[in-house]
Chain A
Amino acid sequence: EDQVTQSPEALRLQEGESSSLNCSYTVSGLRGLFWYRQDPGKGPEFLFTLYSAGEEKEKERLKATLTKKESFLHITAPKPEDSATYLCAVQATGGSYIPTFGRGTSLIVHP
């Protein structure tokens, strides 16, 4: 069974204090790993897709990296508007297109 574990559950940062969120996964074969941002009362907003170990993608203050067992979402010099829940999901090979989501990391950035 595919499993996704995100840590920490919650993270409080001061504005400008860089940090990383972790997504550990267990899957028979990885088709893709997805990062989403979810604001309160909204649906998840797509950020990145990673397909193979060693791959990296960046968008503004966010950078996602992937190894064979985990992915990191690095946040550089965060701003209060980066406050949200960040969700990780994995999609396995083998025919099913159903991603398995983690519980998310709730990030609060204080000014």
Chain B
Amino acid sequence: GAGVSQTPSNKVTEKGKYVELRCDPISGHTALYWYRQSLGQGPEFLIYFQGTGAADDSGLPNDRFFAVRPEGSVSTLKIQRTERGDSAVYLCASSRRDRGYQETQYFGPGTRLLVL
């Protein structure tokens, strides 16, 4: 079956602009995660959705970052007033949350964001 997909694959924007990054999880996966990865680092947690609601948004760095998942499937990560420090790879992952099922996350290819 299809894996996690993310669009766009690359995004170049100017400082101060607004960007939206999209994630389409594996069909049937109820949990969805957003991470940010800088060069030479492991993925850093941003926000976790269980269904339509944000179950944990403790990783969002500030109020410029916001994410939604209105129908419990596709999610959009929104960044307002982008800063050069926001440049990174934004990864999305999904997992099944059936009781007793292993909590393995499957990642998408990422969106490479460059803020000039």
Interface residues, chain A, with chain B CB atoms under 8 Å away: 4, 31-32, 34, 36, 41-46, 49, 87, 89, 91, 96-104
Contacts and interface: CB of A to CB of B under 8 A. Distances in A.
Chain A contact surface mostly: strand
A44 B103 contact: no
7 contacts: A41-B109, A43-B93, A43-B108, A91-B103, A97-B31, A97-B95, A97-B97
B14 interface: no
Contacts of B100: none
Classify chain B's interface size. 20 to 34
Contact of A46 (B6, B56, B104, B112): B104
Q: Which 7 A-B pairs have the closest CB atoms?
A: A101-B42, A43-B107, A44-B107, A43-B109, A101-B43, A43-B110, A103-B42
Contacts of A104: 41-42
B4 A43 contact: yes
Contacts of A45: 107
A100 B45 CA distance: 8
B106 A46 contact: yes
Given A43-B109, A44-B107, A102 B102 contact: no
Contact of B91 (A4, A34, A44, A97): A44
A40 B107 CA distance: 14
B40 interface: yes
Contact of B40 (A34, A99, A103): A103
Contacts of A91: 103
B42 A97 contact: no
Interface string B34-60: 000000111111001000000010010
Contacts of B33: 98
B109 A97 contact: no
B27 interface: no
Given A43-B4, A44-B91, A96-B56, A103 B41 contact: yes
Given A49-B104, A98-B45, A99-B45, 15 more contacts: A32-B103, A43-B91, A43-B109, A43-B110, A44-B43, A46-B104, A46-B107, A89-B43, A96-B56, A97-B31, A97-B95, A99-B105, A101-B42, A101-B44, A103-B40
